[in-house]
Amino acid sequence: MTLEVVILAAGQGTRMRSSRSKVLHEVGGKPMLQHVVDAAAALDAARTHIVVRPGADDLKAKITGSPVWVEQAEQNGTCHAVAQALPGVDEDSTVLVLYGDVPLVTTQTLAACAGAADTGAVSLVTALFEDPAELGRIVREGGIIQRIVEYKDANAEERGICEINSGILAAPKRTLSALMEQVGNDNAQGEYYLTDIIGLAVQQNIPVEGVFAASEMEVTGVNNRMQLAEVERAFQAQVTADLMAGGVTMADPARVDVRGRVQASQDVFIDVNVVLVGNVVLGEGVHIASGCVITDSTLGEGVRVEPNTVIEGAAIAAGCTLGPFARIRPGSELGEGAKVGNFVETKKARFGRGSKANHLAYIGDTTLGDGCNIGAGTITCNYDGVNKHKTTIGHGVFVGSNSTLVAPVELEDDSFVAAGSTVTSKVGKGDLAVGRGKQRNIQGWTRPDKREA
């Protein structure tokens, strides 16, 4: 039986107190709804239908995966929401209903829920909560699920039940459609609850199967900023646990944030207050000190990143050292053993093997050969106010401190730039460039007197 997924994402999320759609708030750097879409995608579903409010252009612009967008003009409960999607679902399929604000649900749990429905049953995901608060309760008799009662409609005994309904369920489409047609709105909210189909299924001797989630957090929905923070911490705890299981040492995993996908080899060390964003690859023995932010970059074996360094869109070869307080901007490529030191900024800069800029420099739109030394205070003037221009530096070049290289310009192999020079034309192989005003010493010079206010 084919599988089709329906994700409910039309809620306003007023308790978030935000102009942004609730399901677009991020967990681990990714919208909550995208987490759910990705978990469903791993099931190989024929189609994924997302039920949204009218328009919902913000969701359509952010969510990937080519879902079928379905509008719910009026919000009359979860049963009404699912009903908007069912006309586009194949009659012979199993329907799996998910929620866009439950971002930590796993593919394994969803597969178990969908698999149980393939036998003709109505299956639902439940969980045991230490404090169920106002969640819907699972009512069992003799261990068999009988119905779900919403908190507002529950009596005192029912509110004492700790097994909750996650809202996630699956059923053959024909069964689901038939049960939904019988759902009424005689409840405290005057809404059509999808959960009412459980009691109806029991009455009609349709099997009801419960699938336990692995943890509370897997089925925790996000309705406010506090819950968002709790889910974020749970997500980060799982990600860092996976990294440590693969051989990464963390000084304090509670103070490392991953907002993307990290591939890490053995014996990587990550200190506190490190943020990894996008796609990050860390080679064996990489050492990342505190306060660093690394985005969409690859760090080779043995790279050392000193404190408070920012790396974005860069490829760093083995044995390099960066920082402290360095900024490596997109397009930077550092060859083996290169060094970018404190308060150095690079942008679209390629450093050859062993080349270094130890401190206080800006290297932009520049190619350096092997074994170059860039002195403190050096800048490449790559922008003329309209266009960017390139600086080309050969092998073994030495640039003295406080030099200005005005692009486009070339420094050939083994050339030397005297400190304090402004270089505007090509420097030949092995040549010394001196581009500075002649010093004058004026004898008998008198300092100006300080004027009274």
Q: Is 359 a catalytic residue?
A: yes
Q: Which of 25, 287, 359, 395 is catalytic?
A: 359
Q: Do domains 3-219 and 225-433 have the same CATH topology?
A: no
- Interval 424-443 mean pLDDT: 94
- Interval 298-304 mean pLDDT: 98
Average predicted confidence (pLDDT) for the chain: 95
Confidence of residue 13 (pLDDT cuts 50, 70, 90): confident
| % of the chain at pLDDT higher than 70 | 100
Confidence of residue 248 (pLDDT cuts 50, 70, 90): very high
- Interval 194-211 mean pLDDT: 94
Q: Which amino acid makes up residue 386?
A: V
Q: Per residue in 45-65, pLDDT tens?
A: 999 999 999 989 999 999 999
| % of the chain at pLDDT higher than 90 | 90
Q: Per residue in 135-165, pLDDT tens?
A: 999 999 999 999 899 898 899 999 999 999 9
Strand duo 163-172 + 122-128: pairing: antiparallel
- Interval 330-334 mean pLDDT: 98
Confidence of residue 11 (pLDDT cuts 50, 70, 90): confident
> Domains of the chain: which residue ranges?
3-219, 225-433
CATH topology of domain 225-433: UDP N-Acetylglucosamine Acyltransferase; domain 1 (2.160.10)
Q: Is the pLDDT of residue 437 over 90?
A: no
Instruction: Classify domain 3-219 at the CATH class level.
Output: alpha beta
Between 283 and 75, the more confident residue is 283
> What local confidence, expressed as pLDDT, does residue 188 receive?
75
